[in-house]
């Protein structure tokens, strides 16, 4: 099963239901589980390989983004 992306990037997908990362040799594989009801009823996994340097940079960016989102949630009264 594959997903065909159409149109111009970035591609909008549903909110990820799950995400994981694991080492694959010198690479890091990130797996996102998303719902794509127009394609199939079951959630699908999207696998994205990164070099370890790109994965390390993404991890740092995700940490900063998570902290900012968490602070924004507190400001809006969501905890």
More confident site: 32 or 13? 32
Given a contact cutoff of 8 angstroms between Cβ atoms, the answer to whether 44 and 1 are in contact is: yes
Q: Is the pLDDT of residue 5 over 60?
A: yes
pLDDT attached to residue 3: 61
pLDDT attached to residue 15: 83
Q: Tell me: the pLDDT tens digits for 14-57?
A: 788 999 999 999 999 999 998 877 777 888 888 999 999 999 99
Per-residue pLDDT, averaged over 8-16, amounts to 75
pLDDT attached to residue 36: 78
């Amino acid at each position: 099963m594959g997903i065909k992306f159409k149109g111009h990037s970035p591609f909008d997908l549903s909110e990820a239901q799950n995400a994981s990362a694991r080492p694959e040799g010198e690479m890091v594989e990130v797996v996102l589980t998303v719902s794509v009801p127009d394609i199939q009823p079951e959630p699908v996994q999207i696998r994205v390989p990164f070099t370890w340097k790109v994965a390390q940079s993404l991890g740092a960016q995700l940490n900063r983004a998570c902290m900012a989102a968490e602070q924004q949630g507190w400001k809006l009264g969501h905890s």
